[in-house]
Amino acid sequence: MHKPSYLALLETGELSKRSAILEDILKDCTLCPRDCHVDRTNDEHGFCRSAYLPVVSSYCAHFGEEPVLSGTRGSGTIFFGNCNMRCVFCQNHQISQPGKSIKKNVVSFERLAEIMLELQSMGCHNINFVSPSHFVSQIVKAVEIAALKGLSLPLVYNTNGYDSVKTLKLLDGIISIYLPDIKYSNNNFARQYSKAKDYVRYNRAALIEMKRQVGDLVVDTDGIAAGGLIIRHLVLPNDLSDSQESLKFISEELGQETWLSTMSQYFPAHKAEQYPLLSRSLREREYEKVLEWLDSFGLENGWVQDYSSRAYYCPDFEREQPFVIE
């Protein structure tokens, strides 16, 4: 069995060192591109409305992720509360954009570590951190605690892609699998619909850094992800996700071998009905056009969704297998 590299960092003391550096960042918080400069160790709140302790909305063995993550035993998914974006179409808005502080879901670092170990004992293939960008410091602190007690699963960083390269560099060797979004290639849309006016610059820099750290998807002999980058792209109606430019960037800057999960599951959740261009579900022809762009840019690795069922399938999976690690 391939051992995640954070175990080596634990042995050398580097994991503890990274944790301390991230704790210091919380005192003048610049974990994400918001750069709020609040003292979260003193329970001050910035844009993400999060203080010192982590907020865990739920956790489970999740079977709805990409096949290499869910496998047969599920991805050990931990859903963090709050967010560093404000997507008007967020399908998890009750978790990401609560109207007030959700104090009942605040947990200690020790409890977060226990959750990881509990998911491992359930047989999950990995630990999957959903919306981790604003809780990187807390996650690393809890990973150290859990690793000392036997955690040995790969860690998945499941993010909206609005991440700081400076913070990501501190995760080098800790995270095995990066699962970022590429939501937009147009900052005007990012500002209007997610309150992230500089999303494109930060997102693209983050994707390049993630690729540098973990490379392309690697699976074990059972077909379960052991490491690598998988990019998610949710196709929005009226081409608000500017899919052609996003796919062009991936092909030219990250490589045609990059694995993508191209999703058709958009529907007008949260406040989307208040915005005319987002007020309807995705049309089948809109999704088919994006699939044509995938082909034109030579992006053959990954998963697309059957439009009618929104279930994942991979038409090229038999022909384009990820690299297998023994």
φ and ψ at 181, to 5 degrees?
-85, 155
Pairing assessment for the beta strands 302-305 and 312-313 based on DSSP bridges: antiparallel
CA 212 to CA 229: how far, in whole Å? 9
Structure tokens at 102: 């959700």
Strand partners, 157: 129, 178
pLDDT at 317: 34
Percent of the chain with pLDDT strictly greater than 90: 88
pLDDT at 326: 47
* Tens-digit pLDDT profile for residues 299-325: 999 999 887 665 554 444 333 445 545
The contacts of residue 103 (CB under 8 Å, 6+ apart) are: none
The dihedral built from the CA positions of residue 234, 218, 58 and 17, taken in this order, carries a sign that is negative
* Tens-digit pLDDT profile for residues 96-109: 888 665 567 999 99
SS (H, E, C) 111-131: HHHHHHHHHHHCCCCCEEEEC
Structure tokens at 101: 């502080």
Any idea what DSSP says for residue 99?
A: S
CA 174 to CA 10: how far, in whole Å? 10
Structure tokens at 104: 């009942």
* Tens-digit pLDDT profile for residues 220-264: 999 999 999 999 999 999 999 999 999 999 999 999 999 999 999
Q: Record the pTM.
A: 0.94
* Tens-digit pLDDT profile for residues 9-46: 999 999 999 999 999 999 999 999 999 999 999 999 99
CA 305 to CA 159: how far, in whole Å? 20
Q: Identify whether the C-beta of residue 241 lies closer than 8 Å to the C-beta of residue 188.
A: no
Q: What is the torsion angle, in degrees rounded to the nearest 10, for the CA atoms of residue 65, residue 66, residue 71 and residue 76?
A: -40
- Give the closest residue to 151 by CA, choosing from 129, 183, 184: 129
| Domains, the chain | 6-324 (3.20.20.70)
Task: Supply angle C-alpha 137, 234, 82, rounded to 5.
Answer: 30
The contacts of residue 54 (CB under 8 Å, 6+ apart) are: 80, 106, 107, 109, 112, 135, 138, 139, 142
Rg (CA), the chain: 19
Percent of the chain with pLDDT strictly greater than 70: 92
Mean pLDDT in residue range 163-184: 98
CA 159 to CA 225: how far, in whole Å? 17
